[in-house]
Amino acid sequence: MNYLKPNKVILVDENDQQVGHMEKLEAHTKGLLHRAFSVFVFNSKNELMLQRRAFGKYHSEGLWTNTCCSHPMDGETIIEAGHRRLIEEMGFDCELNEMFKFIYRANLDNGLIEHELDHVITGLSDKTPHINTNEVMSFKWMTLENIKNEIKLHPNDYTVWFKIIIEEHYETLLSPQYNESIQKRDI
C-alpha cells in the first residue's frame, strides 16, 4: 500500500492554535508542542481494537496501543486524518467522531520527547482489520476494564499516550453520553 506519511508536524499553542510547522523528528527531538490524534475503535461487544506497533517504528516499537494514531497533515481536519490513518494502518474505515483532547509531555525510549495536543477520536466497527505490517505487527480486542488491569500488571508493554488516556480519561471513555452516541453508529 502506498500512502503519504506527514514528514512535518503542525506546531500549536496550548489552545490548539497553529503556530508553525516542523520536521517530525526535529519536533520530537526538541519536545515542541504539536497536534496529534489517537483513534479508538470499539466493536459491538464494547471491546477496543488494540494494535501492537511494528518493530522499526521510530519510537515505541513493539508496544501495544490504541487502534491507530498519527499527526494530521497541513489542511487536513482531525477526522480526515483519522480516516486516512485508520485505512493506512488497519486497512478499514468507519465513522469517526472527536471525543476530547488533552496535552501531555513524556520522554520516550530512544531520547525523543512526545509533547502533543492529542485529539481522541472514536468509532464503532466489527470489521476485521487488514493490517499494514510496516506499521502494525498484530491486533487484538479487549475491554477497557481488562486493558486497565493489564496496564497495571505490564506497564512497559503499552505506549505512554495510551496509558495516559486509559489512566486519566477512563471514565470519559465509559461515560453514558459516549456509550449512547457510539451505539447509534453503524457497524
For residue 85, give the DSSP letter: H
* Known catalytic membership, residue 69: yes
Are the beta carbons of 38 and 79 closer than 8 angstroms? no
* Spatial separation of the C-alpha atoms in residues 30 and 11, rounded to whole Å: 12
N-terminal to C-terminal alpha carbon distance within the chain: 25
For residue 28, give the DSSP letter: H
Separation of CA 142 from chain center: 16
Report helix, strand or coil for 137: strand
* Spatial separation of the C-alpha atoms in residues 108 and 63, rounded to whole Å: 12
Q: Which of 68, 69, 89, 94 is catalytic?
A: 69
- Tell me how far apart the 2 most distant CA atoms of the chain are, in Å: 43
Are the beta carbons of 135 and 57 closer than 8 angstroms? yes
| 124 grid coordinates | 464503532
Q: Which of 88, 89, 114, 116 is catalytic?
A: 116
Q: Which residues are catalytic?
A: 69, 116
